[in-house]
Copies of this chain bind each other. A is one copy, B any other.
Amino acid sequence: MPFLQNAWYMAGWADEIEPGQMIHRKLLDQPIVFFRRTDGQLAALHDRCPHRFVPLHLGTLKGDAIECGYHGLQFDCTGRCVVNPHSSTIPAAARVKPFAVAEKDGIAWIWMGEADEARHDLLPDFSRLHAAPLNAASRGYLWTDCNYKLVADNVMDLSHADFLHADSVGGGAFTSAKTRVEEHGDDVHITWECRHDSAPPAYDRLMPRPGQPVNFHTEVRWRAPGIMHLDIAITPQEDPGSEGLRTDNAHIVTPETESTTHYFFWLTRRFQVDDEEINSRRQAIMYNAFSNQDKPMLSEQQRAMGTDDLFGLGPVLLPGDAGAVRARRKLEQRIRDECAAASRPAAGAPRVARA
């Protein structure tokens, strides 16, 4: 299945792209080079010189342009060739595809469709996470060798936590919870709610009184292609009106290729926000869970599935799949719509009547 083109994808953390430097990353199977203009604005180009096809990131940044490292053509941030050292003219075909990019909430976003059709009004909002104090936030990145939809499924079916992460963020709460799946426009929201005899192990020690029954509430809000908020609230049953433990998290996946994924996660919390030790312990626990538990499982899942489509393999479906299946259907519908639009003649284009 092709990738959704007309959408914002997370390209990386904004501060990964430092002034005067290029970084390159493959997204949706396309090599892309990122840099900052001299005014600090982000820019992104297809990472391929139209002369001999070498990556532009092997060249040199000259002001707002990249000089190709092989024969010195220069391309500005709109992809136009602005210097040809070998001739007084610039070949008309010497153009590189530019991408619309945006920096928001500390994230570098890229619109993979036509740059001039980028919908800046649709940029995701992670301002709450961005506002978290230094010691209440941590970020991470995992290159994951599976299709991006498998990572999204993983986040959208949190019942797996009770088995794969039983020692940390599981503990039975998800399995015993009532799950609700709702569509809000283009988004899918999944809620797990239950009363449980204690908080999951990784949270229990942080409760006012460990080992006591809690009210447990978790919500995932998915948006295509794979942008997810994950909010957790755990409150003591004996003090249901209290703030309890609340965390606001982001799980964002961007396809590298059909079978590999850039997985970004961002963890913030609203309790004891200045406690550096809690922060680093939480980071360590989550990093361990993602890299030593989720990632090997996802990687083996991908190996087993190969290039087959999930539904084509006829999976047994369980109640926990409801949200992820809804999201997949929405994503697939948008991709089909996009493909159909691409093959439709543009308005006003001449049509040939078939007699």
Query: A interface vs B, CB < 8 Å?
Result: 31, 48, 50-55, 58-59, 67-73, 84-87, 91, 93-94, 153, 157, 159-160, 162-164, 175, 296-297, 300-301, 304-305, 313-320
Contact = CB atoms under 8 A, between A and B. Distances in A.
A86 B163 contact: no
Contacts of A314: 93
Contacts of A304: 31, 48, 53-55
Task: Tell me what chain A mostly uses at the interface: helix, strand, loop, or mixed.
Answer: loop
Contact of A68 (B51, B94, B163, B319): B163
25 contacts: A50-B315, A51-B316, A51-B317, A52-B153, A52-B301, A53-B301, A53-B304, A53-B313, A53-B315, A54-B300, A58-B300, A69-B163, A70-B297, A71-B159, A71-B163, A71-B320, A72-B159, A72-B163, A73-B318, A84-B318, A85-B162, A86-B159, A86-B318, A91-B318, A94-B316
A70 B53 CA distance: 43
A178 to B, nearest CB: 12
A259 to B, nearest CB: 14
Copy total for this chain? 3
A69 B316 contact: no
Pick from A54, A157, A305 the residue with the most CB of B within 10 Å: A54
A318 B87 contact: yes
Contact of A175 (B68, B72, B297): B72
A73 B157 CA distance: 14
Given A69-B163, A71-B157, 17 more contacts: A48-B304, A50-B315, A51-B318, A52-B153, A53-B301, A53-B313, A54-B297, A55-B304, A58-B296, A70-B164, A71-B159, A86-B159, A86-B175, A86-B318, A86-B320, A87-B319, A93-B316
Contact of A71 (B55, B71, B318): B318
Contacts of A31: 304
A89 to B, nearest CB: 10
B318 A175 contact: no
Contacts of A85: 162, 175
Contacts of A163: 59, 67-72
Contacts of A296: 58
A306 to B, nearest CB: 10
A162 B72 contact: yes
Contacts of A87: 318-319
B318 A70 contact: no
A92 B317 CA distance: 11
Contacts of A68: 163
Contacts of A159: 71-72, 86
